[in-house]
Amino acid sequence: MIDTVKIAKALSDPIRYKMMLMLAQSEEGCCPIPGEDDQRPGLCNCEFMSALGMIQSRVSYHMKELVDAGLVKEEPRGKWKMYFINTKTLRQYMEQLTQDFAL
């Protein structure tokens, strides 16, 4: 079962919302591993650091919040960690809102 309040909390920070937008809009992955052809969308920490002007530990902290809420999936990829948006959770969140509030 989905924790609506927790998801709302994860979405309630402007930085985290921007991160989610970045993930949703990322067309091609950053930090591709040479020799591998997997170019799935997804971003690594460094992208958020440069795009949002944040230090590394701050990015890491917010990413953890998003992952804990189930909004983002992560996958180690070489020496980087790639992040992907988890649209399933977002859809479940909206479904729950629809039910809870009879929309």
Partner DNA sequence: ATATAATATTAAAATAATTTGATATGTCAA
Partner DNA sequence: TTGACATATCAAATTATTTTAATATTATAT
Beta strands in 1-102 (DSSP E): 43-44, 72-77, 80-85
Of 45 and 86, which has the nearer Cβ to DNA? 45
Among the listed residues 13, 28, 38, 68, the single contact to a copy of itself using CB under 8 A: 13
Which positions from 59 to 78 touch DNA by CB under 7 A, shown as an x/- string?
A: -xxxxxx--------x-x-x
Give the binding range for DNA (CB under 7 A) out of 7-15, 19-27, 90-98: 7-15
First-to-final CA distance of the chain: 19
Q: Give dist(CA 25, CA 43) in Å, integer.
A: 10
Task: Find which of a copy of itself, DNA, none residue 65 binds, CB within 5 to 8 Å per kind.
Answer: DNA
